[in-house]
Amino acid sequence: MNQNHLNPKDCLGNRYRILSIIGHGGMGAVYLAEDLKLRGKHWAIKESKENGQVKNFKKEAETLIQLNHPYLPNIVDYFPPNEKGLSYLVMDYIHGQNLAQKFKNMGNRLPFEKVIKYAIQICELLHYLHHHSKNPIIYRDLKPSNVMIDQQDNVRLIDFGISRRFGHHKQKDTVHLGTVGFAAPEQFEDKQTDHRTDLFNLGAMLYYFLTRGHYYTSSKSLQLQNIPFPMIQVIQRLLQFNPEDRYQDTLQVKRDLEKLQITEQSLDSPNNTSLEVSLQFEHKVIVVGNMYQGAGSTFTSIALARVFHHYKIKNALVEYPTNVSELYTLLNGEKTKPKQYEFLYDKYNSERWISNKLEWTTGYTTWYPLPLLNNTQLIKNGSHTEIDPLLFKIRKPIMIVDISNGWSHPSVQQLCNNADEICYVVDSIPTKFSAGISQDNLKIAMQLKQSGKNVHFIVNRDVNAMIRKLWNNTLPWYPSCYIPNFPFENVHEHIWKGKMVQDEKNIKGKLIEGLYPFISQIVPKSMLERQDNKMNRLRKWFQIQN
């Protein structure tokens, strides 16, 4: 070894044999090494010279060792400064190129759908970092050269040299760091950086890709051409000078990008003219819960899913961990679930997200029930940070989340903040509505309404016009729709037979009629009417043939 770097064939720690130099950084070189204990395994080894940066290098090692996310490299070893003042960090070797190289090799072009895909993955990772442990991690140096693209075409964020732990008690940063062209204004001023700094960095990077390599400066207006207007709106909001005017939550950025992704996918399928492909309304998250126990949130959630199915709109029904497992039994899971099916919340304990190709699907509805032996630890700890990333990986135009009686749970409150529609299910028994828990839930509904959320009452087991009028006078605002009261024995007969009562012909028709006023607020009426007209024509054709 010489004083400045390792040479090919040198061996670090009697285990890592250097093969080549694969890059240079401000603190030292990056090497490709083979593992002498694990034959065939290659690692990247990052070097730091003792030039005042060793403290940062050690902090980077300590930070990365604590993290576990599919879009981050794993750290396997660390060597503190040796007699020559050289430190080494051993991490995953990522086969691929960084986004700066990929962008340049493609002639300063990156397909719009790739920009959205990578941005969504970065949002997932930033959300993880910003909610890590008690002290969020602010990355502060998001730029194309720090984003690797692996062989699976997924992002891997590298170089945590200037990341920092966020402390609410701090009024400013100790040092001002960032890359010109991508850094937020507060990174060069006497101010504190926070999660919104990373969001500005993301906006600057999106601007760079969509303008074929131009850097954003606050002195000129956005120069975006031939870009969908919703994307321009996202970038404008990310690049606001004042952090208070930017997005305040990474998941909201992700959801707005996913809306664009859905539209792009629909436009890329010219041969499929069904409603599910031409669907270009925004991605919707609908939270459904009981005003009081037994009001029927699960029945209502399934009913909504099957009405969306009727209109050929892809949807997902998620049974939230605040529930007692019920959906699995109602779906007759022992017979109907796919073999090798992996429950959604089992993925919480997985080291990486595994795309479930064996989706549990009935028509246009994909089911995400809780397992019968549910590990409730996920919800007991009161944290939404482990749950939300799983939910927002579900790629369906409509996502229905049944939270049952969980309105007061912190994770549900965060879920409601990110939801588009919030539905409280009530039934026709007034005594339950006056109970204490009902009044507590009503207060939550009022608060959500006052914050600008779309809050609905859905009346289940509607009896007659007189009861309906009483409900209208009792609730603080009119219900959005009414589900008829179906005979108790009819419903339970289907459950015992392992059949979905919501798909029974007579019941299904009444559900469509009852839920239509609410559904038409979610999906443009023109789309619903078009599908109804199409089905009426088919029905008449079959009648003529028979």
First to last CA, the chain: 88
Q: What is the pLDDT of residue 224?
A: 75
Q: What is the pLDDT of residue 510?
A: 92
User: In this model, does residue 279 exceed pLDDT 70?
Assistant: no
Task: Report the alpha-carbon distance of residue 362 to residue 336 in Å, rounded.
Answer: 9
User: In this model, does residue 449 exceed pLDDT 80?
Assistant: yes
CA atoms within 13 A on the CB side of 182: 21
The domain segmentation of the chain, as residue ranges, is 11-92, 97-263, 284-545
Instruction: Read off the pLDDT of residues 190-231 as tens digits, 9 standing for 90 and up.
Output: 667 888 999 999 999 999 999 889 898 876 667 777 788 888
Burial of 404 (0-12, 13-18, 19+ CB in 10 A): buried
The whole-number average pLDDT for the span 101-107 is 89
Amino acid letter, residue 67: L
Tell me how crowded residue 29 is: count the other CB atoms within 10 A of its CB: 19
Identify the band that residue 272 occupies on the pLDDT scale cut at 50, 70 and 90: very low
Instruction: Read off the pLDDT of residues 481-517 as tens digits, 9 standing for 90 and up.
Output: 999 988 877 677 777 777 788 888 889 999 999 999 9
User: In this model, does residue 309 exceed pLDDT 90?
Assistant: yes
The whole-number average pLDDT for the span 410-420 is 85
What is the CATH architecture assignment of 284-545?
3-Layer(aba) Sandwich (3.40)
* Contact present, 318 and 400 (Cβ < 8 Å): yes
* Contact present, 214 and 207 (Cβ < 8 Å): yes
Which stretches of 427-494 are assigned E, i.e. beta strand? Answer: 454-462, 481-484
Lowest mean pLDDT among 243-257, 314-328, 407-421, 464-478: 464-478
Which class is domain 97-263? mainly alpha
Burial of 420 (0-12, 13-18, 19+ CB in 10 A): middle
Q: Which fold has domain 11-92?
A: Phosphorylase Kinase; domain 1 (3.30.200)
The whole-number average pLDDT for the span 41-55 is 74
Instruction: Read off the pLDDT of residues 325-345 as tens digits, 9 standing for 90 and up.
Output: 999 999 988 888 888 788 877
Task: Report the alpha-carbon distance of residue 309 to residue 377 in Å, rounded.
Answer: 33
